[in-house]
Amino acid sequence: MSAGYFPKREKIGLEDLFKGLVTASHILHNHGVLDAYGHISVRSPDNPATFWMPCNISPALISTPDDLIEYKVEDASEVEKDAKKGYLERYIHSEIYKRFPAVNSVVHSHSSDVLPYCISGVKLKATIHMAGFLGTNVPVWNASSAYPSGSKHDLLVRNAQLGASLSAAFKPATSAGFIYSKVRSALPAQIGGSQEPDKNPDHAVVLMQGHGFTTLAHGIEEAVYQAIYTKESAKAQTAALLLRNASFGHIVEGKIDVEGGGKIKSASVKTEGDIAYLSDREAHDSWEAMQGTLARPWGLWVREVEINPLYRNECPGCENE
């Protein structure tokens, strides 16, 4: 629902933006990406220096424009001083928007399916073609490297310094460049392309150690898609790892030291049944192919929350009660 994603949407009003942001919050809750915590935001279509995100209530319970707050990108302060209480971690969003001008939507999640990859040292990779945007190397950001002096070490991105450190992880200084940025720089400007590769992120998703994950995109529909399929890809990878370890053995190869009592010297362990992750090329081509289809799942997800009585979208233009 944000300007700049689908080619036919050259302009969008705030009423449509509010309706889309409320619906997106419901969709992410319905798919288990958000629970009582987590949030999605969108850059203002008529003022790139501000963004909108829900106030400090559970995503499933957001229902009206009054539940949304406009913030300044520069410092994450409220545009309206009498605004409702907002999320503490709005700095995740403000610093990403500040660093990447072409990014229009951000999702932060604590999905339990993704959390193991935030703490185990096992790399999250694209296992299915629906998640080609993950690529072959999803970075893990550690808040402990960026805590300001005297601040709380609670893993929460509660200030601009932590937010800036997290946003930098989407484009590491030493990165060779993830295919996500290459795809984006090749797209027409009206659907989110950029002719300034240095301002494009190298990664679509960054994991947060002991915390969750954040994904950025060029529109609400795309951000929701990436958040849902980050979760789905993590589920598939975990299931594949468990199945592989249960079904295949390990072979130890080396030289036997007869005089030393039969100990194996210079041993190496070979495993069977390696998981077939997507290659860089497959990740690139899969994501490129899926980009033209995002309206299909979006339409389904919207209908799912429209008929669910838990979710109420009372923004202008919405028919569900």
Which tokens is 98 given?
């500040």
Question: Pick the catalytic residue: 89, 95, 221, 222?
Answer: 89
Give 258's contacts (C-beta < 8 A, 6+ positions apart): none
CA distance 232 to 230: 6
Alpha carbon 127 to its chain centroid, in Å, reads 16
> Running DSSP on this structure, what letter comes out for residue 33?
S
Read out DSSP for 247-288? H--EEEEEEEETTTTSEEEEEEEEESS---PPPHHHHHHHHH
> Running DSSP on this structure, what letter comes out for residue 307?
S
Classify the C-alpha dihedral 112-288-27-74 as positive or negative. Answer: positive
- Tell me which residue of 224, 220, 221, 217 sits closest to 200, measured CA to CA: 217
User: Is 89 annotated as catalytic?
Assistant: yes
Give 144's contacts (C-beta < 8 A, 6+ positions apart): 153, 209
Task: Please check whether residue 66 is in contact with residue 136, taking contact to mean a CB–CB distance below 8 angstroms.
Answer: no
Neighbours of 205 (CB within 10 A): 28
Could you list the active site residues? 89
